[in-house]
Structure 1
Amino acid sequence: MPPVDTGSLVLVTGGNGFIAAHCIATLLRCNYRVRATVRSAEKKALTLQALSSAKVENLSQLEIVVVSDPTNLGALSVTLSGCQAVVHLASAFTYDALPGEFEERLMIPAVKGTQIVCEAAKLHPTVRRVVVMSSFASVYNADLGLQPGTVYTEKDWCPLTYENGVNAAAVPTAYRASKVVAERAAWEYVRDHRVQFQLITLCPGMVFGRMIHPISSLSQLNASNQIVWQVLSAGKDGQIPPTKAPVWIDVEDLAETTVRTLTFSGVGHERFLVTQGSYDTQEIADIARSSPVASRRVPVGEPGKRIANTHYSCDSSKAQMMLGMKFRSLEESILPLAEQLFNMEMH
């Protein structure tokens, strides 16, 4: 399975998303041609407009196609014609599903979406690599709590099953289960079928960073950047919100990691944990207060206090060594995002 040729055509599913927009921008900057799928003509127009406003390079090499049902094999397969790789980012992410709805709204779309991508890729001999964006949620075992001293790697798996997701009492558990079973569906597919492509799965922590995808208001923030905004908007005398899932990666670094998986020389299927390190909301507040705009608004809390020694950590040396990645600091990620969020609030 040779690496993907520079200049070749890459399919990106779910092209209007936060991470997907950066993957598209990075691919275009690296001189790939990109075909991206979105679910509606409206999302197509908004995505083109957002990428253009963000001054993304080589936009003439981007084609956006509407696939209203990404779990329809025929519809998706057509979009893979002539592609050497697919980056699968379309996923069912909904926090407003209620118990009893989790199978229909989270589990089935997540599993079927991944299976269909693998099936479609198998139908096209030109496809050399399939990159599936999974999550640290599929690595982390929440049942074990904070586990100070434990170091997670890509060898670890969350033990949640399909049944756990269907029968979950609350949506966060169902969401975590959907990420595990979707990623496992890809691994089971390459185990059970003779495929001509190499499977790569990426498991990022919380993904922070500035946004170039279509977003019209702060109410539409993705879950990770919402954490940052909760800190920034808590008010000078407010409480710093608690830290959730305390490992992170910058969105541009994640996009760069994704693109590098297309050309590294490894020939086997690979799984990568993609995290820069630990963070906490106090650290976000400390960083944000160094910005003139934020200094009047962000709660002080307990400056300098960190919680890294109270919970698990991650080892992402595999991605750094095999793909040659160097990850930016939390400050480099948070300050441009903070500026963007305050600008959005004013408009």
Structure 2
Amino acid sequence: MSNLDKVVLITGITGFIATHTALAFLDAGYTVKGTARTAVKAEDWIARFPAHKARFHYAVIPDMVVAGAFDEAVKGCDIVAHVASPDNEADFLIPAINGTKNLLLATKHEPRIQRVIYTSSLAAIFDSALEAGKPVVETEWNSVTYDEAKVATEPLLVYRASKALAERAFWDYIQDEKPAWAGSTICPCGTFAPPVQPLTSLSALNLSTAFVWDIANSKYKTGIPILDWPCYVDARDVALAHVRAAERDAAKGQRYLLIGGTYVPGHFVEVMHRHFPDLRDNLPPIDLSKAGYRNFEYDATKAIRELGIEYTTLEKMVVDTIAYIVDLQKQLSA
């Protein structure tokens, strides 16, 4: 069965990582069925990529937490990439967990499904109690419990817990239900790339991309905030990892940490200074000698070995991202 005969369900297709993932599958020859909250959102999405219209379908799912939400969407699909995540900072926990459970239960309605790829996060891996100097690897887990998360008042902590608990639900389902399909999880760190998803305002940029644009757009001219996790990965690498995980036998039952490298904010500034002279007046001073972040050791080579990922350099990632946003800003202002 060739890729041309296979259908991939991409949940939350209008999102940042989901859009890149859908395009990676389309470029690899697959037919894509995307889920969106409304038909208008799905139509807006494919309108941006008319060359792929013949191999694109969609299913409308207004709320993925509703029981049976994915039951119809999975029909006719051979692969599922569950990329959708809650967008309400005040209530990450239950939507993330129950949305994942709903999707997994829906796979019982389609025996064609061979692979399910779940988009998790470094947040599901990184444990603040990790021994200093010990590298972060795929076998680690964020140890926050549901009971701790449900009473937490900090949205970021709840978000990180939701990623870990939802991914645990994924692996628990596989262990308990023993489905015919094989599962894999992709755990990227802070993800940057050109925001090619439909956007009507730069205020709708995803968090990581907005951070880079804020540097270029003078928000941090007097200083850039210290970061908890000073690592990056290009969304195009994350997208390709989904495709490879769906295709390679070695990926069955595996978890992949995706980190392209570490950085200090000054690295972004230095790249922008060299490549975008028109933005120089917006940039803070360059001082690469100031680390500005905690020591961060990691090992993300498993994705290189098993998925053949060649991580995009920080320079290319930043240049492509800023060039795209500069052009997008002009389009939105026209």
TM-score by length of 2: 0.92
Structure 1 residues 42 and 268, CA gap change in structure 2 (3 angstroms): closer
Of the candidates 44, 47, 52, which is equivalent to residue 45 of structure 2? 47
Of the candidates 16, 26, 33, which is equivalent to residue 18 of structure 1? 16
1:198 aligns with 2:182: yes
Distance across 2 between alignment mates of 1:322 and 1:257: 10
Distance across 2 between alignment mates of 1:89 and 1:324: 21
**Partner SS for 1:34:** strand
Superposed displacement of residue 34, structure 1: 0.5
Superposed displacement of residue 144, structure 1: 5.2
1:110 aligns with 2:107: no
Distance across 2 between alignment mates of 1:238 and 1:308: 14
Superposed displacement of residue 185, structure 1: 0.5
**Partner SS for 2:70:** helix
Deviations 1:280-299 (A, max 9, x none): 21111111111223223211
Let me know the Cα RMSD of the aligned residues.
2.0
8 Å contact kept, 2:33–2:58: yes
Map of 1:131 onto structure 2? 117
Letter in 2 for 1:49: A
Superposed displacement of residue 220, structure 1: 0.7
Distance across 1 between alignment mates of 2:172 and 2:8: 23
Of the candidates 3, 26, 38, which is equivalent to residue 6 of structure 1? 3
1:221 aligns with 2:201: no
Map of 1:100 onto structure 2? none
Map of 1:74 onto structure 2? 68
Aligned pair count reads: 329
Of the candidates 202, 208, 218, which is equivalent to residue 234 of structure 1? 218
Distance across 2 between alignment mates of 1:295 and 1:60: 43
Deviations 1:210-255 (A, max 9, x none): 0111111111110111111221123695223323421111011110
Letter in 2 for 1:254: V
Gaps of 5+ in 2: none
Map of 2:273 onto structure 1? 289
Of the candidates 157, 162, 165, which is equivalent to residue 178 of structure 1? 162
Gaps of 5+ in 1: 98-104
Superposed displacement of residue 309, structure 1: 8.6
Map of 1:336 onto structure 2? 320
Letter in 1 for 2:307: L
Map of 2:108 onto structure 1? 122
Letter in 1 for 2:31: R
Structure 1 residues 224 and 267, CA gap change in structure 2 (3 angstroms): closer
Distance across 2 between alignment mates of 1:19 and 1:65: 18
| Residue identity (%) | 28
Distance across 2 between alignment mates of 1:166 and 1:50: 39
Structure 1 residues 251 and 306, CA gap change in structure 2 (3 angstroms): farther
Distance across 2 between alignment mates of 1:326 and 1:127: 28
Distance across 1 between alignment mates of 2:73 and 2:62: 12
1:36 aligns with 2:20: no
8 Å contact kept, 1:247–1:313: no
